[in-house]
Amino acid sequence: MTVRIEQLEPDDWRRWRDVRSRALALDPTAFACSAHRLGPRTPEDQWRERIASAEGIFLAVDDAGEDVGMVGLSTADAPELISMWVAPQARRHGVGHALVDAVVARAGRRPLSLRVMADNAAGIAFYAGCGFELVGREPDDEGTLTMRRDAPSAATAWPAPTERPPRPGAPRPGRSADQ
């Protein structure tokens, strides 16, 4: 399966809402409670604000033009990979890796962290295969473990696929509420 990875702009908010709503409906236990706050009933302005304040929200689009996966890079100060999901029919074809690659490229030479539900063995195995390591074994109060991927050296840092200039007046990113 080949997919292209697209970075969303605020006007694309419906696409993210629809993919995210499918993710929460199909795999509710893969996401922490706080992640469920951004779901099908969230109003348009909040979707737009979340896209504008993230460093990047990316969707994977298949050959038929269907959105089959999502991921995000949350903050500038402490880059965090968030909202990782691939539609069931598209799994085990490299879509997840392609999405992580987009975030790794955007993060550049900064270390990346993420949170994963402690009982999500498949997710932890997937992230380990992407170069993330568990930071401790004690779940937080939402049941998540933190994984971290060290910054690549200058020689191996990947170029970002596209550069998006910061929007004037865009809110400064803070810690993500979702995972």
Output 91 or 110, the one with its CB closest to ligand COA: 91
Smallest gap from Cβ 58 to ligand COA, in A, equals: 13
Number of residue whose CB is nearest ligand COA: 96
Smallest gap from Cβ 41 to ligand COA, in A, equals: 21
Rounded to whole angstroms, how far apart are CA atoms 21 and 24? Answer: 5
Rounded to whole angstroms, how far apart are CA atoms 119 and 111? Answer: 24
Smallest gap from Cβ 85 to ligand COA, in A, equals: 4
Alpha carbons within 13 angstroms on the beta-carbon side of residue 98 total 22
Output 112 or 116, the one with its CB closest to ligand COA: 116
Q: 112 φ, ψ to 5°?
A: -120, 145
Task: Give the interface with ligand COA as residue ranges (CB under 6 A).
Answer: 27, 30, 84-86, 91-97, 116, 120, 122-123, 125-126, 129, 179
Could you tell me if 64 and 1 are in contact, meaning their C-beta atoms sit under 8 angstroms apart?
no
